[in-house]
Amino acid sequence: KIRFTGHRDVARIWERTLRKAEVPVAMSTGFTPRLKMAFGLALPTGAESLVELLDVTLADAVDDLESLVRRLDESLPVGMAVTGIRECGPSEVSLQEDVVATTWVMAIDAADVSGNIDRLNAASEVWVDRERKGETRRDDIRSGILHLGPASLAEHSDVLPPQWLGESRGELIEAVLTTAGRGIRPTELIEAL
């Protein structure tokens, strides 16, 4: 159910979790200081993810990262967990710059999904309408589709939600979409299909 939590609410959950776990997070300067943390990408509301990335700048060094993971896990709500942690050097790029593509596994209940995948893969241009700041623009998203093909339950059984296994939810597809520049939303790919 946590997938129905919006990105801003997830950010607030992390702020409370970091405070509750007594993590020494650095604060920004200025009129309204905030915790120094940044998310890699905003996950669309309703989507589930195996890996969400978060940069946190600490005010003091933390000696025991395993203890920090345990404290964070105990402070997070049900449905969220720390799956990994590492210390980053000051010269490393931010997550927003480092993540250039995401892999999506989606179930589509429509006619001739494989034919539409072939059509889209063969196309040199794929146009979708996008609304931005109250204006509708027509953009070619083809260059942002790095991979698009059918997927099977067997190859993704270790990562798909348990309720997907054994149920018919349409045809599974796997897509690798760029996030750099004007990235592609999974809903835009579905619209193009």
Q: Rounded to 5 degrees, what are φ and ψ at 114?
A: -65, -35
Q: Tell me the average pLDDT of the chain.
A: 85
How many whole angstroms separate alpha carbon 139 and alpha carbon 156?
A: 31
**What pTM does this model have?**
0.73
Residue 168: pLDDT band with limits 50, 70, 90: low
- pLDDT of 96-106, one tens digit each? 677 888 888 88
Average pLDDT over every residue of 162-186: 77
How many whole angstroms separate alpha carbon 109 and alpha carbon 193?
A: 11
**DSSP state letter for 65:** H
Are 149 and 193 in contact by the 8 Å Cβ rule? The answer is no
**DSSP state letter for 5:** S
- pLDDT of 44-95, one tens digit each? 888 888 788 888 888 888 888 889 999 999 999 988 889 888 887 777 777 7
